[in-house]
């Protein structure tokens, strides 16, 4: 059952990620948007799972399956390498810094807004 839930979540997450890629013409902003919104959704999922408001099954589907395939670290890595090969160091640096810090900031913000006790 666990594998099925993760697979179904992964299937839906990858389809949504592909849709964003098409709509945004495979630009960096598509990967950035997927990673930031995926981080936000993962933060919400982690919080609700930690206080037992969502089941382990929903966590497997949403947190591991959906968010795992929707967020795109491999695409992010490839895009950074492509920017570096094109010697576009400014965009590569901005992309790396904003992707990492905004994603982390979004998760922390979700935790604070939901009242997570650190």
50 token code pair? 């930690």
Question: How many residues does this entry show for the chain?
Answer: 118
Residues 71, 38 contacting (CB under 8 angstroms): yes
Q: What is the pTM of this model?
A: 0.86
The answer for 62, left when phi > 0, alpha when psi is -120 to 50, beta otherwise, is alpha
Per-residue pLDDT of the chain (118 residues; tens, 9 = 90+): 999 999 999 999 999 999 998 899 878 899 999 999 999 999 999 999 999 999 999 999 999 999 999 998 888 998 999 999 999 999 999 999 999 999 999 999 999 999 988 7
Tell me how crowded residue 71 is: count the other CB atoms within 10 A of its CB.
22
């Amino acid at each position: 059952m666990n594998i099925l839930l993760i697979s179904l979540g992964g299937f839906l997450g990858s389809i949504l990620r592909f849709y964003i890629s098409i709509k945004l013409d495979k630009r960096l902003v598509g990967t950035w948007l997927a990673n930031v919104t995926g981080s936000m959704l993962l933060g919400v999922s982690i919080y609700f799972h930690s206080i037992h408001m969502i089941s382990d099954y929903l966590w497997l589907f949403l947190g591991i399956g959906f968010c795992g395939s929707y967020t795109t670290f491999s695409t992010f890595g490839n895009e950074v390498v492509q920017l570096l090969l094109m010697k576009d160091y400014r965009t590569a640096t901005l992309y790396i810094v904003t992707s990492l810090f905004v994603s982390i900031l979004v998760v922390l913000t979700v935790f604070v807004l939901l009242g997570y006790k650190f």
